[in-house]
Structure 1
Amino acid sequence: MICFFWWMILLGKSSVQLLAQEMAEMETHMDIGVSTIDITPDHPIRLAGYGAREKKPSEGIIHQLNAKALAFGRDDQGPSILITVDLVGIPAIITAKVTKRITEQTGIEASHLVICASHTHGGPEVGNLLNILQYRGDTFSDSLLKLEELVEISRYTERLTDQLVAVALSSLADREPALVFWGQGRMGFAKNRRTEGGPVDQSFPLMKITDPTGNLKAILVNYACHGTTLGGDVNQIHGDWMGEAQLMIESNHPGVVAMVAIGCGADANPYPRGKMEHLRLHAQEVADNVEQLLTSKLHPIIQPPSGKIKWINLPFAHVPSVPELIAQTEDKTVRGYYARLALDRIARGQDIPKTLSYPVQTWTFGNEMAMVNLAGEVVVDYSQRLKKEIGADKLWINAYANDVPCYIASCRVIREGGYEAESSMYYYDKPSPFAEEIEELIINTVHELLPPSF
């Protein structure tokens, strides 16, 4: 203490003030890197999302598709990377490959990497929903996709892995001191598609990144709504309202990178929908809300995220036996098509899984905000429950994160049945609906991973 006292005297008053100022700035600044890469297919390719879409490759481009990355924190803090992709989903196998390569090159572990899909229904198939592409209604064929279609999908997914690694590493290389803020607004174009007037999450969280002088560098937003403004009659590559919103935000702020993630909107559709004018209408609402939030009082974030991840096993309600599958093949819906695929696997010596390996991830930015990253198409009940139990004022929830294996229905939705709980599972190559207990398993895991301050 005495040595420090004499050191300050030797430095002089002005030097001490400068040192104090620099130390204060270090406490409020966070190293942030931003990067983007074009992931638009360079050839026609089958698009994912709609079973009713014509069974042929894409025909033109409305929006370029992108992957964008935010890197948080210095090397000595243990950096984290958040990637958004303009795709219907991200398969776990791609996330695992990307994570392995990034870990090998940087030491960043899976808990500190998240890939969030926008869930556009105008992006290429990447392996989540091949059953939708193959199933052809009550006259379905047992044949695979055409060889040229399989080749193009395989080439695209292989290239995508390289691109996601590249954009992540580029964001790390771009890191510079920055200021980070967050806040929440509200939007209103999402409507519950299961029940008229049913629950939706209208919250609109925003993260703002500027350089130390306040110049805007990047914006990350989130809304819980499907990317289904344009229907299956549109066979052109597009990013739906999420892609259009990114373009509008970046047009309003040249040089800024805009990123969109999706919340628990598995049972919510945009309204109105079906036309390009509706897509622009929703994107404009997003862009307008961004402008309002940018000029409002936002909460500073001064610590990079501390990440945790845990894989849990979600049980299916019932795994059919071989006799049951044989009988199920008479079903002319996708349920019968799944039974044929399951019997083929069994004949090859493979087992039908009884559970789904499911990642739950949390990022805590000090005590300022908790970000929960959930895999799959998560229904709104999870958001409502977590915000009630943890507090909506400090919670940000990304669904479609790290994997999109299927819909993640709640206990209520499973009991009600319908597309999200049952028939969608066969499109996603799953043997049955989930057991009702999955809601408690997921919610309890989120609580387990979050620190007591939340």
Structure 2
Amino acid sequence: MQISQNSFTTILLTLLVVNSIFYSEGVVAQSNNASKTKMAKGTMLVGVSTIDITPEGPILLAGYGGRKSESEGVLQALKAKALAFGSDSEGPSILITVDLIGIQYYMTQEVARRLSDKIGVDPSRLVISASHTHTGPEIGNLLNHFARQLPPEEIGRINKFLEILTEKLEKVSIEALDARKPAKVAWGQGKAGFAMNRRKVVNGKSVGMTPIPEGPVDHDLPLLRITDMDGKLRAVMVSYACHGTTLGPDINKIHGDWIGEAQKFIEEKNPGAIAMVSLGCGADANPEPRVTNLQLDYAAQHGKEVADEVQKLLASNLKPLSSAPMGQSKVIQLPFEHIPTVQEFVQQANEKGAKAYFAKLALDKIARGESIPKSLNYPITTWTFGNDLAMVFLAGEVVVDYSLRLKKELAPGRLWVSAYSNDVPCYIASKRVIKEGGYEVESSMYSYNQPGRFQESIEDLIVTTVHDLLPLSYKPKIKK
């Protein structure tokens, strides 16, 4: 049978029109369904995904400067896990947790750029929160901690891991976006008790690290629950303000510390669900007990405590969240107290440890015509689920004073404060801690490739920025 060119064109156009109608009706139907879903209280589109980020082969582990060799095996796999909230029309938001010592800001920016270019995700709606395990791979932000020039092959393996990690963070984000479907989201808050302040202070000055039972800590354990429409658990997100240092430097094998153990226990108790754990403002808190010949048992003990509290919360009446999160972000400048002169750097270079190593690097930098930054770029992000919950994501190793102050000043009972988010450039000490001095204020800064302590003003700069980023509904009413 022979068909004329005109007839063929007519048939083709007809098929295209019919296909367009069916496609349009399908899109409208999906859009209508999504709209109906969003109107239901406590319901929104949510996607969940997980990916293994365990390094292949030996790599230098981060967190303890005394390690002299690369990792000697894997005790527990490391994961990156993602939650994607909201529809494309609303603008999706993505929250990733990584079982790592930290994340570098350039990596967060690169993942955000890729997601923006490919999918249109707003950079303010991407958050990457690190678990701060001290038995995970070095990611390049604590290289000074070793106070020596590392062999090129070791640096090469770190760089290769970071390249692969960036690809995997992009992949897990896209997979979570693709997995979005109607879900019920709710939140609540429990408690855990193993964090203990580690800063011993005598006459207003820090004199070392030791467990201080009376020291300030944040024992809150906020939880996010994501279930299918039929009530089946899909994911749990939980946070606690405590260092990932149950395991000491003698453990030279990859492990997620108490954070990894908590995720394992939660997932064992809830088959098919994904557990995510991030850290609060626990920069000056260690898990107790820790670092003994029973330390693997202690990591499991702390993880089980978190998992048991999670089970109680999952069975309780949690607060439904009816709106997908809206993000706001800002990068501010945190000023250093003093930038050493060349002569001061020369003197420091004759000392020992990370401070001397940083001084040598600084002198080399100055000789090449480069300058030492007078301030630190510091990203802050906030998410708000309508008027029901505000999440604050702070970069760096943030001490407990920040979460205690923010929870006191803003929306009591509706504020979730996370640290180690989007960037971990150094410790972020409070005004009180800076006055007291000590590791978190002084020597740790050189390990992080920073020139020295911050000005006391940084606390008010950070807190004021959080206030500015949050809507009025989260701020205290001014009495007339």
Question: What are the residue-to-residue correspondences of 1:141-152 with 2, within 5 Å?
Answer: 141=148, 144-152=149-157
Q: Secondary structure at the match of 1:76?
A: coil
User: Counterparts of 2:323 and 2:222 in 1: how far apart (Å)?
Assistant: 18
Quote the residue 2:309 is aligned against.
Answer: 289
Structure 2 residues without counterparts, runs of 5 or longer: 1-32, 201-211, 475-480
One-letter identity of the residue aligned with 2:81? K
Quote the residue 1:52 is aligned against.
Answer: 66
User: Counterparts of 2:347 and 2:160 in 1: how far apart (Å)?
Assistant: 37
The 1:332/1:291 distance shift into structure 2, 3 A limit, reads: same
Quote the residue 2:182 is aligned against.
Answer: 177
User: Counterparts of 2:344 and 2:55 in 1: how far apart (Å)?
Assistant: 41
Quote the residue 1:214 is aligned against.
Answer: 231
Deviates more, 1:291-300 or 1:383-392: 383-392
1:86 lines up with 2:99 in the alignment: yes
Q: CA deviation at 1:284?
A: 0.7
Q: CA deviation at 1:25?
A: 6.0
Q: Secondary structure at the match of 1:163?
A: helix
8 Å contact from structure 2 (residues 41, 320) kept in 1: no
One-letter identity of the residue aligned with 1:257? I
Q: CA deviation at 1:327?
A: 1.6
Please give the per-residue CA displacement for 1:346-398, whole angstroms capped at 9, x wherever unaligned.
11111100000000110000000000000000000000100000133000011
One-letter identity of the residue aligned with 1:42? E
* Aligned pair partner of 1:353 in 370, 373, 378: 373
Q: TM-score, normalised by structure 1?
A: 0.92
Deviates more, 1:259-268 or 1:24-33: 24-33
Q: Secondary structure at the match of 1:114?
A: strand
* Aligned pair partner of 1:224 in 221, 241, 245: 241
Q: Secondary structure at the match of 1:108?
A: coil
Question: What are the residue-to-residue correspondences of 1:28-177 with 2, within 5 Å?
Answer: 28-53=42-67, 55-133=68-146, 135=147, 141=148, 144-177=149-182
Displacement over 4 Å in runs of 4+: 21-25
Q: CA deviation at 1:29?
A: 1.7
Please give the per-residue CA displacement for 1:175-225, whole angstroms capped at 9, x wherever unaligned.
000000000001100000003210000000000000001000000000000
Question: What are the residue-to-residue correspondences of 1:249-288 with 2, within 5 Å?
Answer: 249-274=266-291, 275-288=295-308
User: Counterparts of 1:378 and 1:402 in 2: how far apart (Å)?
Assistant: 13
User: Counterparts of 1:81 and 1:25 in 2: how far apart (Å)?
Assistant: 21
The 1:350/1:290 distance shift into structure 2, 3 A limit, reads: same
One-letter identity of the residue aligned with 1:206? L
8 Å contact from structure 2 (residues 397, 426) kept in 1: yes
Quote the residue 1:420 is aligned against.
Answer: 440
Q: Secondary structure at the match of 2:413?
A: helix
User: Counterparts of 2:40 and 2:471 in 1: how far apart (Å)?
Assistant: 25
One-letter identity of the residue aligned with 2:426? C
* Aligned pair partner of 1:193 in 180, 193, 198: 198
1:378 lines up with 2:392 in the alignment: no
One-letter identity of the residue aligned with 1:37? I
One-letter identity of the residue aligned with 2:234? K
Q: CA deviation at 1:333?
A: 3.2
Question: What are the residue-to-residue correspondences of 1:238-253 with 2, within 5 Å?
Answer: 238-253=255-270
Q: CA deviation at 1:23?
A: 6.7
User: Counterparts of 2:64 and 2:462 in 1: how far apart (Å)?
Assistant: 28
Q: Higher Cα Rg: structure 1 or 2?
A: 2
8 Å contact from structure 2 (residues 348, 356) kept in 1: yes
Quote the residue 1:341 is aligned against.
Answer: 361
Q: TM-score, normalised by structure 2?
A: 0.87
Quote the residue 1:8 is aligned against.
Answer: none
Q: CA deviation at 1:128?
A: 1.1
One-letter identity of the residue aligned with 2:106? I
* Sequence identity (%): 57
Quote the residue 1:394 is aligned against.
Answer: 414
The 1:344/1:22 distance shift into structure 2, 3 A limit, reads: closer
User: Counterparts of 1:300 and 1:155 in 2: how far apart (Å)?
Assistant: 42
Q: CA deviation at 1:84?
A: 0.2
One-letter identity of the residue aligned with 2:450? K
Deviates more, 1:325-334 or 1:194-203: 325-334
One-letter identity of the residue aligned with 1:119? H
Quote the residue 2:466 is aligned against.
Answer: 446
Please give the per-residue CA displacement for 1:398-440, whole angstroms capped at 9, x wherever unaligned.
1000000000000000000000011100000100100000000
Please give the per-residue CA displacement for 1:267-296, whole angstroms capped at 9, x wherever unaligned.
000000121110111011011000100111
User: Counterparts of 1:241 and 1:38 in 2: how far apart (Å)?
Assistant: 18
One-letter identity of the residue aligned with 2:364? D
8 Å contact from structure 2 (residues 262, 306) kept in 1: yes
Please give the per-residue CA displacement for 1:153-175, whole angstroms capped at 9, x wherever unaligned.
01000000000000000000000
The 1:24/1:344 distance shift into structure 2, 3 A limit, reads: closer
User: Counterparts of 1:368 and 1:277 in 2: how far apart (Å)?
Assistant: 38
Quote the residue 1:317 is aligned against.
Answer: 337
Q: CA deviation at 1:26?
A: 3.9
1:330 lines up with 2:350 in the alignment: yes
Deviates more, 1:394-403 or 1:383-392: 383-392
One-letter identity of the residue aligned with 2:128? I
Quote the residue 2:205 is aligned against.
Answer: none
1:205 lines up with 2:222 in the alignment: yes
User: Counterparts of 1:35 and 1:329 in 2: how far apart (Å)?
Assistant: 47
1:433 lines up with 2:453 in the alignment: yes
Q: CA deviation at 1:22?
A: 5.5
The 1:283/1:349 distance shift into structure 2, 3 A limit, reads: same
CA RMSD, Structure 1 to Structure 2 (Å) = 1.3
User: Counterparts of 1:281 and 1:367 in 2: how far apart (Å)?
Assistant: 36
User: Counterparts of 2:401 and 2:121 in 1: how far apart (Å)?
Assistant: 32
Q: CA deviation at 1:121?
A: 0.4
Structure 1 residues without counterparts, runs of 5 or longer: 1-18, 136-140
